[in-house]
């Protein structure tokens, strides 16, 4: 399947031509404020990440989030990426990550829609049982988006991250296949 479609977006496989956009995002202080990125990255590091990602199983490859701008019938705009990593085949569990890198598209529901699309793919196509994530305590906007997508709070890893000279709590959230079926 070449694309995964949500209501207002689609997900496609990341390509090497996406690297410059990814690089711009991960070097933007506002974008990485709630990500586990601590140092500036250059093209060599991002290409290394890309090559390592493409060497993993296909179900763990990064997917690009594209949306249709209002009034456009054929143009798709790249706004972020998402992926599962790594899939635990025995427990049928996986961590999910997401980055909306285009700040003009923040707070418009695209993160929630991308998470719902990934959950549908994970539960209905990959036969996963549990999808989980980590979210910094300093990112209530993301936590709200995850809750809208059906994720529930499981617990807190106290002071589990260190950023900008202080420790940050990290919340664990998840959604189970049985939760997904109920919705």
pLDDT in tens, 104-159: 999 999 999 999 999 999 999 999 999 999 999 999 999 999 999 999 999 999 99
pTM listed for this prediction: 0.94
Mean pLDDT of the chain: 94
What structural domains does the chain harbor? 3-182 (3.40.630.30)
Q: What percent of the chain has pLDDT over 70?
A: 98
Strand 9-13 to 152-163 pairing? unpaired
CA distances (Å), origin 165, targets 36, 38, 135, 151, 160: 14, 12, 18, 30, 13
100 close to 112: Cβ distance less than 8 angstroms: no
């Amino acid at each position: 399947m070449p694309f995964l479609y949500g209501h207002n977006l689609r997900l496609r496989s990341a390509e090497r031509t996406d690297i410059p956009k990814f690089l711009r995002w991960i070097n933007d202080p506002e974008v990485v404020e709630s990500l586990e990125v601590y140092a500036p990255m250059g093209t060599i590091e991002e290409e290394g990440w890309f090559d390592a990602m493409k060497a993993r199983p296909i179900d763990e490859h990064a997917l690009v989030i594209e949306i249709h701008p209002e009034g456009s019938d054929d143009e798709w705009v790249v706004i972020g990426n998402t992926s599962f990593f790594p899939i635990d085949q025995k427990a049928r569990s996986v961590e999910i990550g997401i980055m909306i890198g285009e700040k003009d598209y923040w707070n418009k529901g695209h993160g929630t829609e991308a998470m719902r699309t990934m959950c549908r793919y994970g539960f209905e196509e990959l036969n996963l049982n549990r999808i989980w994530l980590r979210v910094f305590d300093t990112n209530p906007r993301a936590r709200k988006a995850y809750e809208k997508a059906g994720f529930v709070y499981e617990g807190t890893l106290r002071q589990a991250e260190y950023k900008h000279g202080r420790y940050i709590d990290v919340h664990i959230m998840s959604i189970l296949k049985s939760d997904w079926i109920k919705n």
